[in-house]
Chains A and B, each alone.
Chain A
Amino acid sequence: MNPIIEHAFFIYFFVSLCILSIAVIASKNIIHSAFSLLIFLLHIAAVFLFLNAEFLMIIQIIVYVGGVLALFIFAIMVMNLREELRHKRFVRFSFLGLAVSLIFFASLYIFLSNVKSNQNVLTYSDTNLLGKLLYSYYLLPFEILSLVLLIALIGGIIIAKKTPVDGDRR
């Protein structure tokens, strides 16, 4: 690929990811921040396509956009937050949070600005080899992960279940 076009696309994704993640934080309406998060996740999928990880792009779109974001929107609709627009958005000492994140970014930038990388990159995306690696070498973490997903499913149902109304429970 032409390197100038590649750099231009990367800079576009950098700027738009920053703008979208700030829009998630700064928007007044919660449903607006949910849709900003939707566009953010699609841009992250495009960044995965830059890195020759096509399978991750598909998984990102299916799991995040199809699962997690639909769950967020369902939760917003169930909670029915109509009077939310009048309340203030930030905590009282929000400049301290700003300072903490700026210090964190500065200390990461000092380490990351001159990282050396070798030249033999992943030249093509090999989903076949990824599946073989997942089912041979990483088989035990994969099975444990299925148990973790099952337990999270059951726990989510039990926690969010409507408790029976009696005298001492609110």
Chain B
Amino acid sequence: MIPLSWYLILSATLFSIGLMGFIIRRDLIVMLMCLEIMFNSVNVALASFSYYNSNLSGQIFVLFSIAIAACEAVIGLAIVLAIVRNTGINHSDEINNLRG
């Protein structure tokens, strides 16, 4: 049987890679993709806790997390589209005015 720590190390590795991508990439859409990677790694951790404690509440929290991630993707992509349409900028380090 695969031990619990392997799943947690998998989750930590994916979360670190997503965090690194979120910090170092310039494109706004790829930053949102890195957010999706981080959401998925946390979902793996919750599902593994649910499996190793034989308790189904972890899977329900994964369901809620997936729904919140869908909302986050919708709002984030709408904001990126509004920024690109209003200012023509799609890099995170070139946005320098607050009035749009």
Contacts and interface: CB of A to CB of B under 8 A. Distances in A.
B3 A117 contact: yes
Interface in A1-53: 3, 6-7, 10, 13-14, 17-18, 21-22, 24-25, 30, 33-34, 37, 40-41, 44, 47-48, 50-53
The secondary structure that dominates the A interface is helix
The secondary structure that dominates the B interface is helix
Most chain B CB within 10 A, of A17, A41, A88, is at A17
Interface of B: 1-10, 12-21, 23-27, 29-30, 32-34, 36-37, 40, 43-44, 47-48, 50-57, 59-60, 62-64, 66-71, 73-75, 77-82, 84-87, 90-93
Given A53-B50, A117-B5, A122-B52, 18 more contacts: A18-B17, A21-B14, A25-B30, A47-B47, A53-B51, A53-B62, A56-B47, A88-B26, A90-B25, A101-B19, A109-B12, A121-B1, A122-B50, A138-B57, A148-B67, A149-B67, A149-B70, A152-B71
